Amino acid sequence: MKWMAAVIGLTILVVLLTLYEWPKMDQHQKKEKTAFVTITAMGWLLAILLLFFPDLPGPTQMIDKLFKPLGRMLEKK
């Protein structure tokens, strides 16, 4: 039940953030609103994932795994 309270708390926080920021955006700013919704949803999803999987690797660890082989190849030449 502790995780449920955390999920509800995060959801309420995201809703409050959206209710605060949405009216400040101009009605004709479609791209900005789309970007706001996308980034907010991704942040909410990441927060929920970190609740259930706290040992989830961070973005820097993912970049290290992707670019370490490339770095080794460039060092050899």
Number of folded domains in the chain?
1
Q: How far is CA 39 from CA 1, 23, 25, 46, 61, in A?
A: 28, 17, 15, 10, 21
Kindly report, residue by residue over 53-70, the tens digit of the pLDDT: 888 887 788 888 888 888
d(CA 64, CA 19): 37
Q: Give the residue numbers spanning the domain of 6.
A: 2-76
Residue 73: pLDDT band with limits 50, 70, 90:
confident
**pLDDT above 70: residue 77:** no
Task: Name residues whose C-beta falls within 8 Å of residue 48's C-beta, 6 or more positions apart in sequence.
Answer: 7, 10
d(CA 11, CA 45): 10
